[in-house]
Amino acid sequence: MSAARLAAYDVLRDVDEREAYANLALPARIREAGLNPRDAAFVTELVSGTLRGRGRYDRIIEIASSREMDRIDPRTRNVLRLGAHQLLAMRTADHAALNESVELQRLVANAAGAGFVNGVLRTISRSTDAEWNDRIAAEAPSADAALAARTSHPSWILRALRDALAAEGRVDELDDLLAADNRAPRVSLALLPGSGIDVDTAEALGGEAGIAVAGPSPLGLELAGGDPGRAIDGLDLPEGTLRVQDQGSQLAALALLRASEIRAGEQWLDLCAGPGGKTAVLAAEAELMGAELRANEVAEHRAELVRRAVVASSDAVRVVSHDGREPEAFGDGGPANGGTRRYDRILVDAPCSGLGALRRRPEARWRKAPSDLPELTRLQAELLDAAADHLAEDGLLAYVTCSPHLAETRVVLDRLLTKRSDLEELDTKAVLNRVAREPLDLAGDALSAQLWPHRNGTDAMFVALLRRRA
């Protein structure tokens, strides 16, 4: 039984039973197992690929076993998923995938089920990847059900993505989007303002480590592969000035900063700051431009992540932990102490379904349900309303979600604009195209911007800019 496969199983178990995030559980398990770089890369592909393909593999396992997945022991399910991914999507020899899966079953699950695992995986190995797609389609009740199973997206997410693309007149891009969700993205890096070097210099210094200028963000670099921590440390920059961050996230923060000229002494607020990526961009700019930033995060453990993220610009930032709908989040003194505090720029990076980051967090597609949306959209609306109450005249508010779901984007935003006549929407597409290295492909008639992995190379980040009328 290889240590690498056991580590992969442990991560899948942690994701299932403890609701762990794979991107956090995976490095920890690799360290605990003491894996060399080659085995670490194998485990990373095995875990990430299995999680991305879980829906498809589950359907294949059901067909191969003539048994519904909920009738298979949870431990055995994960053994079968790992085996299916090795057989259908990796260069693992069939005999190695079969033998190791049987041994894994004996070690971590019901040993009596080893014969079942062997039989199911042998059946899977007798058909090619394309042939399994044909069998999925032949046994599906509808074309949508076949597409959902084949691309490993829950049906409700597939419909939401189609609706969002249709709103832009780009529904024909659905297949490209679903495929992009199932490809492992390169590691994106952000070189913060004030780091002392520009991205071209960073590329020159980090070229041997695989760091290169790429992507739409002017702060953005990409890492071809390997350990990002080691690559970042190799540049010997001030702590925190080069960090892992999706370029859609970088652009969202920059949109708020570049929508109007910054004046010294401005007061800024990041209302939902954790884990701190966008906060770090705002903080670096605040320190350069003489602004002050208040970063609020409701969960104290995530507030600590924000403090670590802004270590390079800590003098310009105050991190607090409150519910973003309450006066304490804004630092209100109340009527006796100055009343409502106003901010010149507010970022509301609202809690959301996370459907825009499925390529980076593949387990998210199996954790969310349509029933989660009403509570999320209610929270988004309440946070926006509270933020608007604290926006200074002529101040800017950015509403950002890492989701393209229309219920979390335009629906929430349009309700706010209908309710509040003191707010006007700005042309976010125009702002982002001024910010980006090259003009972005931003579709649709709305003033807000929806970024996409298949089109822009970023997470599916939604960005809308509002101004409070003077």
Annotated binding-site positions for S-adenosyl-L-methionine:
272-278, 297, 323, 349
Pairing, β 391-401 against β 343-349: parallel
Which structure tokens are listed for 80? 């079968």
Burial of 159 (0-12, 13-18, 19+ CB in 10 A): middle
Q: 298 in helix, strand or coil?
A: coil
Residue type, 20: A
Residue type, 398: A
Residue type, 120: V
Contact present, 340 and 390 (Cβ < 8 Å): yes
Least Cα distance to 147 among 258, 37, 56 occurs for 56
> What is the C-alpha to C-alpha distance for residues 101 and 62, in angstroms, rounded to an integer?
17
DSSP secondary structure string for all residues of 112-168: GGHHHHHHHHHHHHTS-HHHHHHHHHHH-SSHHHHHHHHHT--HHHHHHHHHHHHHT
List of E strands, 58-132: none
> What is the C-alpha to C-alpha distance for residues 347 and 299, in angstroms, rounded to an integer?
17
Contact present, 151 and 180 (Cβ < 8 Å): no
Instruction: Give the distance from CA 133 to its chain's centroid.
Output: 28
Under DSSP, the state recorded for 421 is T
Q: Which residues pair with 293 in a beta bridge?
A: 268, 317
Scanning 310-360, the segments in alpha helix (DSSP H) are: 327-330
402 is catalytic: yes
> What is the C-alpha to C-alpha distance for residues 224 and 201, in angstroms, rounded to an integer?
17
> What is the C-alpha to C-alpha distance for residues 101 and 99, in angstroms, rounded to an integer?
5
Phi/psi for 179 (5° steps) reads -65, -40
Q: Name the active-site residue from 221, 309, 402, 440.
A: 402
Catalytic center residues = 402
